[in-house]
């Protein structure tokens, strides 16, 4: 069992484990308990009523948070010609073709997200073993003809969500420094997007449980009825 700091234990004592908190209460409590010396990320964890082993019940998608994540990602783009110029104008941190592939092969990791023009994929494909899940992905919108739009959306706060092996989705909802209203509006958008991604064959309750926490703080159980009612 992982050991927690005394600060974590003190914060955890403030959370009633038998209670489900309204989103407003949870946001306030999570922010109060965030005492690290950096701007912690506020995160939501959603346990979904799906079977991760069934391909047709996979839950995956993307969305743009109304107020962003609080972190502007470093975006590198595989493109050339007009697409490369468009990506640069959209704010990409690095744009390249064979040179970018070679840099990553040599160990360069100065990026958070990779975007690729489809014409680049035969070249980029050889990075599969090196990049693993960080490879550009069509379902995530990171393999696209419109690389400029992809860069703009990522810089504006686009996030990708997917279930893990436990059928849980973990997503950032912003930063502790955000206002309560900004966090609540981001949460409302997250819940709407996750709900819209419900597989057609799933019966019963889709979101089974939810909790909110900061990067270094304990989880706060959310009231699902009030969470669903967020606007």
- For the chain, domains (ranges, CATH) are 6-69+158-228 (3.30.190.20), 75-155 (3.40.50.790)
Query: Does 160 score more than 90 pLDDT?
Result: no
Report the C-alpha gap between 32 and 11 in whole angstroms.
9
What pLDDT sits at residue 1?
42
Report the C-alpha gap between 42 and 120 in whole angstroms.
36
pLDDT in tens, 92-131: 999 999 999 999 999 999 999 999 999 999 999 999 999 9
What pLDDT sits at residue 143?
96
With bands split at pLDDT 50, 70 and 90, how would you rate the model's confidence at 228? confident
With bands split at pLDDT 50, 70 and 90, how would you rate the model's confidence at 5? low
Task: Report which DSSP code applies to 222.
Answer: B
Whether the predicted model's global pTM rises above the 0.85 cut: no
Instruction: Give Dmax over CA atoms of the chain in angstroms.
Output: 59
Buried b (16+ CB within 10 A) or exposed e, 151-163: bbbbbebbbbbbb
pLDDT in tens, 31-62: 999 988 999 999 999 999 999 888 899 898 88
With bands split at pLDDT 50, 70 and 90, how would you rate the model's confidence at 9? low
**For 38, left (φ over 0), alpha (ψ -120 to 50), or beta?**
beta
Return the sign of the alpha-carbon dihedral for residues 188, 180, 113, 151.
Answer: positive
Report the C-alpha gap between 37 and 14 in whole angstroms.
20
């Amino acid at each position: 069992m992982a050991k927690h700091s005394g600060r974590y234990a003190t914060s955890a004592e403030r959370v009633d484990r038998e209670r489900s908190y309204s989103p407003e209460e949870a946001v306030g409590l999570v922010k109060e308990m965030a005492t690290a010396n950096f701007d912690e990320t506020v995160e939501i964890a959603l346990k979904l009523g799906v079977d991760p082993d069934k391909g047709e019940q996979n839950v995956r998608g993307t969305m743009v948070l109304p107020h962003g994540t609080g972190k502007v990602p470093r975006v590198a783009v595989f493109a050339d010609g007009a697409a490369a110029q468009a990506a640069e104008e959209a704010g990409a941190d690095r744009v390249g073709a064979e040179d970018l592939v070679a840099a990553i092969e040599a160990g360069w990791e100065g990026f958070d997200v990779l975007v690729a023009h489809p014409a680049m994929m035969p070249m980029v494909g050889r990075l599969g073993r090196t990049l693993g899940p960080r490879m550009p992905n069509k379902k995530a919108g990171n393999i696209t003809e419109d690389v400029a739009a992809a860069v703009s959306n990522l810089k504006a706060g686009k996030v990708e969500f997917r279930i893990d092996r436990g059928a849980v989705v973990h997503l950032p909802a912003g930063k502790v420094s955000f206002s309560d209203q900004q966090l609540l509006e981001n949460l409302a958008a997250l819940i709407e997007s996750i709900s819209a991604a419900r597989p057609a064959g799933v019966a019963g309750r889709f979101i089974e449980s939810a909790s909110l926490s900061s990067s270094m703080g304990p989880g706060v159980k959310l009231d699902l009825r009030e969470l669903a009612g967020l606007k």
